[in-house]
Amino acid sequence: MKSSFAFLGLPANVSAQGDGVDHLLVAVHGLMFLLFAGWLCYFLYVIVRYNKARNPKADYTGVTSHASTYAEGIVALIEAGLLIGLAIPIWARTVEHFPGEKESTVIRVVAQQFQWNAWYPGTNGVFVNADPKFVAGDNPFGFDKSDPNYKNNFVVAKDFVVPVGKPVIAYISSLDVIHSFACRPLRAMQDAIPGMRIPLHFTPAKIGIYQINCAQLCGAAHYTMRGTLKVVSAGDYQKWVAGKSSAGAGAGAGYE
């Protein structure tokens, strides 16, 4: 997590995977700058070289050299290089190489208008059963309250806590419309789609408090849909989870 490309308006990267994303962004911006500068030079050259004073009569033959074909070939080669050399390996690492659940902190992120919720399995690490048939006004997540894990689970709104230096697997879902979980300092983003539970993983590399946004226009108060991801030491995280679990208020506390 060495990269920090503030000149692109990016917050400093604090995830173990973010460097690849940053390098790709910088390379794509570099190529776009090159194309912009190249086209601008060509445009200025054409204005001067082919003005009316120099060319009083139209030329119907047009360009005979192959310079533009070569230039296009070079641009296509650079683009192929970016795709094969940077983009596809990042995709493969992010999507194909998921960390094991045993070595990770597993949480379920549930979006709703206009709030982020994180559902934690608590100290025993087992998620309480949930099913749409249990959904009610006082049980929006559909928890099975007769499940013995119900008391050990807990849900926090807005302010999530995860430990540093360990992969986090977040299953992203939504209670209502399409939202998008975005934590830019961690270069992590995933749409939250009703009826789907989509896994996302990232490894926080630095203790701190980072902003979570909703990156999908989801209604009138979309702009208020902020949260924080608090990255703490492993010890502090265990203490926090133990405190929440032992309170025994149950996963649905706050909604009942």
Residues of this chain that bind Cu ion (CB under 5 A): 179, 214, 218, 225
Which residue's CB is nearer to Cu ion, number 116 or number 237? Answer: 116
Bridge partners for 139 per DSSP: 136
Least distance (Å) from Cu ion to the CB of residue 87? 27
The closest of 250, 236, 97, 111 to 164, measured between CA atoms, is 236
Which residue's CB is nearer to Cu ion, number 113 or number 129? Answer: 113
Least distance (Å) from Cu ion to the CB of residue 174? 8
Least distance (Å) from Cu ion to the CB of residue 115? 9
Which residue's CB is nearer to Cu ion, number 23 or number 222? Answer: 222
The token duo for 197 is 């539970």
The token duo for 69 is 């074909």
What are the two backbone dihedrals, phi and then psi, of residue 218, each rounded to the nearest 5 degrees?
-120, 10
Burial class (CB in 10 A: 0-12, 13-18, 19+), 229: buried
Which residue's CB is nearer to Cu ion, number 47 or number 220? Answer: 220
Least distance (Å) from Cu ion to the CB of residue 135? 20
Least distance (Å) from Cu ion to the CB of residue 210? 18
Which residue's CB is nearer to Cu ion, number 191 or number 236? Answer: 191
Give me Rg for the CA atoms of the chain.
25
The closest of 176, 180, 165 to 227, measured between CA atoms, is 180
